[in-house]
Amino acid sequence: MKRLIVLGALAMVLGLSAREPSMKLIDKTFDRKGEKLQHKEWVVKFHHADLNLKNIIDKDGKLVKKAWGDFFLGLRHGTIYNGSWDIWHFVSAMDKKWKVLPEKEPASKVSFVRFADSSCVNMEWTNGSIRVLQTSGSQKWVYVKVTMPAGIHKVMLSVRPGGSHHGIKGRERHIRFGSLDIESKNFKVNTIPFDGKTTGMAFYNKNYNEKNGNFLVFEAEKIQTIQNHTENPVNVIFYPKKGVTELNFALGYFLNEDAEEVIQRFMVEQLPTIRKGLDSIQWDKAPDFSEFTKNAAQVKNLIAGVQGPDKAKYEKEFAAIVKDYEAAKAKNDISAYTDVLDRLRKLQKKIGSSTLDSLM
């Protein structure tokens, strides 16, 4: 009977998705021409997208940007030929005091939370924060919240629809915005005609990867002016109305579809639904503690079937995880809860793999 229980728990472990949302921190020091520097990088895996924030920091705690790759805030979401939302720097902002984030100072805090149906990374600086969230059921959409307590002067989003190749002769980058079709084609900043109501836009190409592109949904009622300019990426700049301290965006994409058809479908049929989804995102909802309870019961069953010296080691590790879980639950600390849940799942997989090897 005990063997059947263990086999049942093992089957559940082996059935866990290989794509579990997580965050990994790389933190190491290195020498560059006699200068000691710190490399900090947060690598985030959502259900269907990836994000990385990379900082190189000097001995005085200042951000270093002297070489390619010293700084990234990249998003891999619908990525093709290194295109779609910018995999190197997809969002930046400036507040009313002319302070910029994220590229002027190291991140002060980065935390990651997981819920039953979504995951979210919260990146903080002294003058504000950027949060990125994806739900398990929305493969083609990622949600972004920019917060600046001093008031937002502007937010810029960067996208490379269809790819990031340089020097493509004849390529045209286009923005579809309501009834407007705008070719974004030079370094000059252009103001986009805006009626104050249109709440979404599409990005696509002519004469280059025409079946791949991107969508953007935003809070039109908060926006005063929209501008754009193009280098390789298309940069779209939002200037909000006075007093706005938060802006929310939904970032989407399309791959291998006829651009005219998919953009028309987005503008007419999908845009109202996506905007409603953006408005209903729960950025600070209560954690679902039932996932820990369920997985903890499976770990207990797995440990019960372990023979030999490893059993005591697993029991000790499990007890430490449970203790930290109780502390996180008592404080309603979502970030700490996410951490202990991740540790529990790693223990679960470790015991499961070991048990499977012993049964072979």
Output DSSP code: residue 287. Answer: P
Note down pLDDT in tens along the chain; length 360 residues.
444 444 454 444 444 444 688 899 999 999 999 999 999 999 999 999 999 999 999 999 999 999 999 999 999 999 999 999 999 999 999 999 999 999 999 999 999 988 878 999 999 999 999 999 999 999 999 999 999 999 999 999 999 999 999 888 899 999 999 999 999 987 889 999 999 999 999 999 999 999 999 999 999 999 999 999 998 899 999 999 999 999 999 999 999 999 999 999 999 999 999 999 999 998 987 777 888 888 899 998 888 888 888 888 998 999 999 999 999 888 888 888 888 888 888 898 888 777 655 554
What's the pTM value of the predicted model, to 2 decimals?
Answer: 0.86
Tokens of 52: 């990385």
d(CA 147, CA 167): 36
- Altogether, the residues listed in the chain come to a count of 360
List alpha helices for the chain, DSSP H. 2-14, 259-265, 271-279, 290-304, 310-331, 334-359
Output DSSP code: residue 282. Answer: -
In sequence order, which residues have a C-beta less than 8 Å from that of residue 248 and are 6 or more positions away?
A: 143, 144, 145, 146, 218, 219, 278, 279, 281
CB 112 within 8 A of CB 77: no
Helix axes 2-14, 334-359, angle to 10 degrees: 120
152 dihedral zone (left: phi>0; alpha: psi -120 to 50; beta): beta
Tokens of 299: 């770990």
Q: 123: helix, coil or strand? A: strand
- Residue 226 pairs in a beta bridge with 192, 238
d(CA 64, CA 242): 33
Q: 61: helix, coil or strand? A: coil
Other CB atoms within 10 Å distance of the CB of residue 20: 15
First-to-last alpha carbon distance for the chain, in angstroms, is 19
CB 239 within 8 A of CB 225: yes
Amino acid sitting at position 247? L
Domains of the chain: 22-279 (2.70.98), 286-359 (1.20.1270)
Amino acid sitting at position 233? P
CB 83 within 8 A of CB 161: yes
